[in-house]
Structure 1
Amino acid sequence: MVVSILLVLVLLGFYLSWRATRLDRLHHRVETARAALDAALLRRAAAVLDLAAHPGLDPGLARELTAAANGARRAGEEERELAESRLSQALRAALDRPDRGPDPHRLDEVTVAARGVYLARVFHNDAVSDTRRARRSRLVRFLRLAGTAALPDYFEMDDRPPRR
């Protein structure tokens, strides 16, 4: 009788330890995905600034792209999603016009960077979704297996890339 109770307690301990470790790995996955998203956003802003510096681009359009890219790079955490959405909109407005003047190589760089942002955001939001789903469990909440880690947030922005 005592042996079976001890066996159940040991198995329960292993299970709870596994759940806590899984939550920790999910939180690390969110942090890694967020770092990749930040890097993709910076790459896109750099590609847009490179495009805006092209001499064949309309000066007004170049100023608009530069302002949007710098705004996205300098935005704080609270306004980052909105600033990145504005950059996406400015980029589409600039590149979806038939009279665009930059060379195709720079356009390819911007398009690749924009697709990278889309993919990084999808991976980040998937990681957040998995972590939130794991933390909704009654057992996790009751035993506080997530520790003091903050509940991760989704990154929502307009990331539709420009047409090519």
Structure 2
Amino acid sequence: MNWEWLFVTIAVLAALGVYLSWTAGRLDRRHARLEASRAVLDAELLRRSASVLDLATAGLLDPASSVALADAASRARTAAEGTERYQAESDLTAVLTAVLDDPEDLEPLRSDPAAEAALEDLAMACRRAAHARRFHNELVRGAIRLRRKALVRWLRLAGYAPMPETVELDDTVPHGLASE
């Protein structure tokens, strides 16, 4: 009878060990995906600001709009990481919306193949940046759910990794570009 309890105890401890190891591996993979998605998001935001700079310097828009777009894109590219960067990206979105929100204002540009290509590149860059941010935020929410489990907290399976945070910025695609 004592041997049966010993085998049951060993089996329970082995199952618990396997579960904890699997959970720690899952958490580690989630953190690696978070780092990768953050890098993709940063690349997409840089691509968006590069497309804005290309449009602003192409001489296709009026000078005031070109200067406003170029200034906002430059600030977004050179802003420090964190809240300052996301504020600069939101400001870039606000300028894009102010300049390119009305599809009727863009109709004269659409007849020029170079302008049409620049607008199409910018629209794609805006959509990709918005998608990358949503994807990253979904991964963050999943990691937070996993890290809130009692065993993960009690046994510190996340180690000393900082709690992931969602990226909050305005990445709305202007209506003038969204119609493509």
TM class by smaller structure: over 0.9
**Aligned residue type for 1:107:** L
Q: What's the CA shift for 1:54?
A: 1.5
**Aligned residue type for 2:61:** L
Supply the distance in 2 between the matched residues of 1:58 and 1:136 (Cα, whole angstroms).
Answer: 52
Match of 1:15 in 2: 19
- 1:73-112 aligned within 5 A: 73-78=77-82, 79-97=84-102, 98-100=104-106, 102=109, 103-112=115-124
Match of 1:72 in 2: 76
Q: Going by fraction, where is helix more abundant, 1 or 2?
A: 2
- TM-score with structure 1 setting the length: 0.96
Q: What's the CA shift for 1:99?
A: 3.6
- 1:8-157 aligned within 5 A: 8-78=12-82, 79-97=84-102, 98-100=104-106, 102=109, 103-157=115-169
| 1:70-125 C-alpha deviation (Å, 9 max, x unpaired) | 10011111311100000011111111244446411111110000000110000000
Supply the distance in 1 between the matched residues of 2:134 and 2:175 (Cα, whole angstroms).
Answer: 19
Q: Report the more deviating stretch, 152-161 or 100-109.
A: 100-109
**Aligned residue type for 1:60:** A
What's the secondary structure of 1:155's corresponding residue? coil
Supply the distance in 1 between the matched residues of 2:96 and 2:127 (Cα, whole angstroms).
Answer: 13
Alignment size in residue pairs = 164
Supply the distance in 1 between the matched residues of 2:95 and 2:44 (Cα, whole angstroms).
Answer: 17
Supply the distance in 2 between the matched residues of 1:23 and 1:105 (Cα, whole angstroms).
Answer: 42
**Aligned residue type for 2:81:** E
Structure 1 spans left out of the alignment, 5+ residues: none
Structure 2 spans left out of the alignment, 5+ residues: 110-114
Supply the distance in 2 between the matched residues of 1:19 and 1:29 (Cα, whole angstroms).
Answer: 15
- TM-score with structure 2 setting the length: 0.87
Cα RMSD after superposing both structures = 1.2
Matched-pair identity in %: 48
